[in-house]
Every structure is written in C-alpha cells, then in structure tokens.
Amino acid sequence: MGQVLSYIWRCVRPIPKLEDDSRRVPHNDQSSQFEQDSHYIAIPDSDNARGSVSGLNPDVNSNSQKRVCTRTEHFVVVDLSNVDEKNDSAELEEEETQETTQIIVKKEVIAEVLVTPSELTYVPRETVKKIGPYTSKQTTLLVGEGDFSFSASLAVAFGCASNMIATSLNSQEFLAKNYRKFRRNKMALEVRGCMVIHGVDATNMINHDLLGCLRFDRIVFNFPHAGCFGRTDHDMCKNRELIKGFLRCVKKMLNREGEIHITHKSNGYFRQWNIPKLGLDQGLELIREIKFIRSIYAGYHTKFGFGGNKDFHCNPSKTYMFGIHPTQMV
C-alpha cells in the first residue's frame, strides 16, 4: 500500500494552491527541500483555518470562552514514504502522520488570553516585593533622612514607590551642599512616585498640613540623634527626648495594624538609651527587635545628619518595632 501511494505521488506531484497568496509555503531553503522530494506534501494547519481574532468581543455568551491570539501562517509536511504495507489507509492517516509530521514554519503566538464576559481585559497580578521587614504593599513614611539613600534603596528594590513619603529636617539646599549623592537619590525616589518633603520636624508631624491627615502602615526613623554628640547624662537626655517626642507624635499617624520602626546602635553607651522603655512609656507595645543588616539595603549610607559626607559605623545595631498597645486601641 505504501509503495503504491508513493508511486502515485511521484507521477502526479500536486502543488498545493491556496485561496490567498499570503497562505503559501514560504519560499525558503527548507520548503524547497520538500517541494523537490515527491515523498512530501504540504498541508495547511487546521488551526489557521479557524482564522484569527484581532480584538475582544464583548457579545460572547456567558458560558463561552474565546482564544485571542495573533495570526501566524504555517504548514505541516507529511512524509508518505516508508509506509508499512500491512497497515490499512486508516492506520496510515492515524499513526504514520503522527510519527513523521514535521513543522517547516514555526508557529509563533505573541499573545494568548482566555477572555470571558466577566473579564474582558487581562490584568497581571501585582507582585509584592520585599526588602528587610518592608514590602511594596505597605504605606511607608520615612523620617529624618540624611542623603535619602535609605529611602532610595527601598524605592529601587520595589520598582514603584508611590506608597512612600520620605522626609528630612534639613532643607534641600543644605542637603545638596553636604551630601554628594543627594540629588541622585532624590531623583531615584521621585521618578518612582515617592513624595519627598523637606523641613519636617519628627516630633511635630501630626500638625503638618499634609502628613497630619495621613495614616501609615510603617513609620521609620533610622538612627535618630538630637545633635548632642557628647556622652554625658545631659546629652543622653536630649537624645531620649527626641525619641519620646517622635513616638508620642507618630503613634497618632499609624493604621490599626501599623508599626513604628526605630533603628539604632545597640552596644555600650547607646544601649543606655533604653529605647524599648521609651516606647512603653508612650503606651506602645514592643512587637519585636531584629538585628539591622545595612548590607541588604543596596546603596544605603549612614550619614551624619548635621553636615559632612562621611559615613558613621553602625554595627551592631537593632531595629525596634513598636505597635499600638491593645489597651490604647479605640
């Protein structure tokens, strides 16, 4: 049977003709190889016979689905030689075709979407990105930024920073003069949708025209310092007052499940500041404290907040995480 079919095709050698010239087998080297050999025939793929859909059809039945894809012309080539004589014509069509089918023009689907009446547009799921204890889903307020390298690190990691507001006590002019990478960091924030505000007092933000009206999932103050660099009791008292004033203010700016994060050195003199007790005194609950690892925040530099472009050593440090105490919830 196979030899008979092969002989017939050698004699007849039909050339496939299509209604539309655009449906012809491309004239490339690979297709010419099959045209010269009479053992092969080119057959239009059945998928293309159904046509293509160039847009969405809102008039589709409620239980139906339409497959939307770009139109791509292609053919399959069937080898009719080497057919076993014992097989009948049905077996030839069913088995041999599957074993010897070759694609000479690859099918390329640029986009394929299943469309239902309840979902006429495809919207990819939002990817929540995470760095340290922070995620792109949280609304975040950053306080007391130096050269804004910490907030810029978060923004770059998230890709979008429209949920973030970054603030500093100092003016833009002061920061541009004292921090070499300030302008670049600020640009990295603003192009990703982060709002940058200068001249913000960390102990009085509740009275700020904009910030006082907002509520946040995370409020972050890294390495708060009142500018008293001595190690006397007076200097320690000034720094502790700054932290207490900050906590007293921002606890009114938290969402119900929100957290206040204070990162600071955790050894020697700085341990005496007793930050966990300062939070407890303000009616806050210490949720947890974790080791602060600066290296996970790419591009972050711990700058002195009162001028100069030098980094200070921040190891070891901890991040203290406070939440509203259950007894303080309304």
pLDDT tens digit sequence for 71-114: 444 444 445 444 444 444 444 444 444 444 444 444 444 344 44
- pTM of the predicted model over 0.85: no
Share of the chain above pLDDT 90, in %: 52
In single-letter form, the type of residue at position 228 comes to C
Quote the strand ranges of 162-253, DSSP E: 164-167, 195-197, 216-222
| β-bridge partners, 69 | 112
- Max CA separation in the chain (angstroms): 108
- Look at residue 317 and give its three-state secondary structure: strand
Tens-digit pLDDT profile for residues 137-187? 999 999 999 999 999 999 999 999 999 999 999 999 999 999 999 999 999
* Mode of pairing for the β-strands spanning 195-197 and 164-167: parallel
